[in-house]
Amino acid sequence: MKFNQLTKIFGLSILVAFTACKKYGYEVPDGYPDDSQNVAEGSIDTNMKLIDKSMYAKARVFPGLVDQTEPRVKETQFTLNLNFTDQTAQNLRISEAPSPQYSTGYYAAPGELIKLVVPAGVDGLTVQIGAHTDNLAGKFPLLRDPVIYNRKKLVAGINYIRNLYGGHIYILATFAYANPVTFTITGAVVSPDFILGQISDADWVAKVKASQVPWLELRAKSVIFTIPRDKVMATFNSSEPFTNPTAVFSKWNDVFDLDYNSWMGLSDNAADIRDRSPQSQWRGVLDIQLSLGYGHSGFPFVGLNDSYWFASFTSLNSISTSSGQWGTYHEFGHNCQQANVWSWSTLGETTNNLFSFKVANRIGANYNILHPAVSSGFPKAITYASGTGTKNFDTDAAMNTVDEGPFMKMTPFVQIFEKYGYGAMTYLYTQARHADRLNTNDINKHNFVYEKLSDYTKIDLAPFFDAWGISISDAVVAKVSAKYPILANQVWTFNPLNKTGGTSVISFAPSVTVSSSQSNEGSPAAMLDNNTATYWHSQYSPAPTTAQGYPYTLVYSENKRMSVKGMYFVPRNSTAQRVKNIEILVSSDNVNFTSVGTTQIPNAFARYEFTFPNGPVFNKFFKVILKDGWNTPVASFPYAAMAELGVIK
């Protein structure tokens, strides 16, 4: 009897222990989240004294334990203002937007139960424990467990949640509440956070020194950074002690207010929600291992927990000079890219960095120190744009080097900002948010940037885009050229690093290139001199090394796209080399040509005009293929000559 009773008691204790273990932590059978982003449901052991220490060893490595001497709060109230406008990435047409995630100022110790009381009538909320949401699944070797945060939906009344690794406690809101909401919390510890405008520097330093909480938050109006307390403590005896968060985060507010939100045309009280700045703060966290790279964008943005990233968050010198800030601006810039409207496929690591130049311009920083590849890449890019011949900004090897390519591609944008004002970016972003549709291919994005920057400058920037080899559609150029005068100066030669160049006048004088020319009987320019006594002649001496004869090719251009009704020709005053049948083709890039008609030039020393049969064309290059001549037989004298040619506008 005694044996049976003891057996039952022992068996029951095992069952209770096993059941309780399954209820600890994440409330899923194996104690781990499934990374599906599903919010945990179900019950949890509500014994506040019970601590699940099963992950203590891993939590000690990261994010750290909380000393038992740190006071746990009991029935403590805190109030959050949950009245927000949820600015989605879709509204702003950017890659990532801050979501309504509210810091409570409390931290959960690993494995310890948190009790959270939500007032009656409040729903649509979720509690999250853990700032480190980067999923390291598939990484090897792992420096920490793959997923160390968890979430649970909240209901009005009493809620319980624990995290085996611990972490900051957040409230996530689905919709807004007009009036502040007051919660009651038990079991958490106070995080030694800095909140701009609510705590003095001295009080915060004292708070950090007195705390044993491993992580803390630095909070301002527009940004929140999550950093390790031990790194803060280490600075107190360094050459640049982090004891001045008020000064640092006042400047961070400026960066986001002036160089991100305002530069994108966003304001807190804009009437149109598409122009309203994010109502939640941008977030950045440090982590000992990242799912991707040395730092990556997202909400939150993640940087490696090293001295560089820590300084980029906290150094007054760094943020005051833009030196050392490239990484943070780079990743937040990724979040703000408008890749679905105008930032085309080869600008993935380019347009995100333009924010660095905006900050540097505002504070008067030297562009050369922003990044080593800026000082080397910009001059190389200008050399590329200044060159002649056919170019392709997106595919040419000269613009796509591994180290400098993205920096070279920043050059045309910074040239426009420096020459016409940084408001060009504001106009571009605003127009993108209000555009009737998204753009699904690069040529449409090229066209969008060309048209909107031309609208902003009130100048037809087609020559600028042509110089850079950024292809734009003839129909859009025709639309823009009808509204604005054409660009007069070679802005693509301007160097933003030393503010020189860009003033030379663009030549729109007619030019012609030929496939063959006899040097002692006039150059191709003789066809453009308004003198019918001079002429161009195909080569006959010395004898070409390759087969010579018809067809010959002439390409006429005035270095700009224009509306042309037709072309005129004046043959040489000699019957021997007069051209007979020709075909005319047109192109915007001197690569891809389209035929607009064929005709026969009369065998006479007189001006002949050919009007394009389908009406005027809008193009930059006009290719004339000389198919044969009036001389018979052509095979015995396969040469051509022309006194004059040009376009009829």
Kindly report the three-state secondary structure assignment for every residue of 560-571: EEEEECEEEEEC
pLDDT at 488 over 50: yes
Confidence of residue 42 (pLDDT cuts 50, 70, 90): low
Nearest to 242 by CA among 223, 216, 222, 221: 216
Give a yes or no: residue 163 inside a domain. yes
| Tokens, residue 378 | 């910009």
User: Do residue 126 and residue 273 come from a single domain?
Assistant: yes
The owner of tokens 């490595």 is 61
Average pLDDT (219-230) is: 97
- pLDDT for the residue 519: 82
Q: Which of 126-140, 319-333, 631-645 has the lowest mean pLDDT?
A: 631-645
User: Do residue 349 and residue 296 come from a single domain?
Assistant: no
- pLDDT for the residue 557: 96
Relative to beta strand 511-514, strand 536-537 is unpaired
Chain center to CA of 116? 39
Which residues lie closer than 8 Å to 181 by C-beta, 6 or more apart?
A: 79, 80, 82, 118, 119, 122
DSSP state of 505: B
> Three-state DSSP class for 133?
coil
Relative to beta strand 566-570, strand 644-648 is antiparallel
CB burial readout 556-586, b (16+ within 10 A) else e: bbbbbbbebebbebbbbeeeebbbbbbbbbb
- pLDDT for the residue 635: 61
pLDDT at 36 over 80: no
Chain center to CA of 4? 71
> Three-state DSSP class for 264?
coil
pLDDT at 27 over 50: no
User: Do residue 489 and residue 587 come from a single domain?
Assistant: no
Average pLDDT (522-550) is: 85
Give a yes or no: residue 26 inside a domain. no
Distance CA 107, CA 67 (A): 12
Backbone angles phi, psi at 277, to 5 degrees: -70, 155
Give a yes or no: residue 84 inside a domain. yes
| Tokens, residue 324 | 């050392």
User: Do residue 426 and residue 538 come from a single domain?
Assistant: no
Distance CA 598, CA 465 (A): 31
Which residues lie closer than 8 Å to 208 by C-beta, 6 or more apart?
A: 192, 216, 229, 232, 233
- pLDDT for the residue 549: 82
- pLDDT for the residue 574: 87
pLDDT 10s digits, 338-390: 999 999 999 999 999 999 999 999 999 999 999 999 999 999 999 999 999 89
On whether the CB atoms of residues 410 and 350 are closer than 8 A, the answer is yes
Give a yes or no: residue 318 inside a domain. no
Relative to beta strand 552-564, strand 617-626 is antiparallel
Backbone angles phi, psi at 171, to 5 degrees: -110, 125
Give a yes or no: residue 331 inside a domain. no
On whether the CB atoms of residues 538 and 639 are closer than 8 A, the answer is yes
Which residues lie closer than 8 Å to 41 by C-beta, 6 or more apart?
A: 27, 152, 153
Instruction: Provide the number of structural domains found in the chain.
Output: 3
Instruction: Look up the CATH number of the domain holding residue 119.
Output: 2.60.120.1250
Q: Which helix (H) or strand (E) holds 219?
A: strand 215-219
Distance CA 103, CA 78 (A): 11
Average pLDDT (314-336) is: 93
Largest Cα–Cα separation, the chain: 132
Average pLDDT (585-600) is: 95
Give a yes or no: residue 170 inside a domain. yes
Determine how many CB atoms are found less than 10 A away from the CB of residue 591.
Answer: 10
Residues pairing with 79 in the sheet: 182
Q: Exposed/middle/buried for 547, CB within 10 Å: 0-12, 13-18, 19+?
A: exposed
- pLDDT for the residue 607: 98
- What's the mean per-residue pLDDT of the chain? 91
Which residues lie closer than 8 Å to 534 by C-beta, 6 or more apart?
A: 522, 526, 643
User: Do residue 120 and residue 181 come from a single domain?
Assistant: yes
Distance CA 616, CA 622 (A): 13
Determine the structural domain holding residue 256 and report its residue range: 54-309
- The radius of gyration of the chain from alpha carbons, rounded to an integer in Å, stands at 35
- pLDDT for the residue 7: 37
Instruction: Look up the CATH number of the domain holding residue 385.
Output: 1.10.390.30
> Three-state DSSP class for 497?
coil
Chain center to CA of 196? 29
Instruction: Look up the CATH number of the domain holding residue 542.
Output: 2.60.120.260
Nearest to 107 by CA among 163, 152, 51: 163
pLDDT at 553 over 90: yes
Domain boundary (441, 463, 493) is at 493
- pLDDT for the residue 400: 94
Provide, for the chain, the percentages of residues in helix, strand and coil under a 3-state DSSP scheme, each rounded to the nearest 5: 30, 20, 45
Confidence of residue 197 (pLDDT cuts 50, 70, 90): very high
pLDDT 10s digits, 257-294: 999 999 999 999 999 999 999 989 999 999 999 999 99
Distance CA 320, CA 12 (A): 65
Cα–Cα distances (Å) from 200 to 245, 274, 371, in that order, read 9, 36, 34
User: Do residue 405 and residue 484 come from a single domain?
Assistant: yes
User: Do residue 77 and residue 138 come from a single domain?
Assistant: yes
Chain center to CA of 12? 60
Nearest to 131 by CA among 224, 246, 209, 204: 224
User: Do residue 531 and residue 456 come from a single domain?
Assistant: no
Confidence of residue 10 (pLDDT cuts 50, 70, 90): very low
Question: Torsion over CA of 394, 395, 401 and 404, rounded to 10 degrees?
Answer: -10
User: Do residue 301 and residue 387 come from a single domain?
Assistant: no
Residues found in the chain: 649
pLDDT at 548 over 70: no
User: Do residue 246 and residue 301 come from a single domain?
Assistant: yes
More confident residue, 204 or 369: 204
Domain boundary (431, 462, 493) is at 493
- pLDDT for the residue 638: 83
Give a yes or no: residue 333 inside a domain. no
Domain boundary (309, 330, 355) is at 309
Q: Exposed/middle/buried for 31, CB within 10 Å: 0-12, 13-18, 19+?
A: middle
Give a yes or no: residue 20 inside a domain. no
User: Do residue 299 and residue 156 come from a single domain?
Assistant: yes
Distance CA 172, CA 527 (A): 74
User: Do residue 516 and residue 486 come from a single domain?
Assistant: no
Distance CA 560, CA 401 (A): 29
pLDDT at 26 over 50: no
DSSP state of 457: H
Distance CA 252, CA 316 (A): 10
Confidence of residue 605 (pLDDT cuts 50, 70, 90): very high
pLDDT 10s digits, 87-105: 899 999 999 999 999 999 9
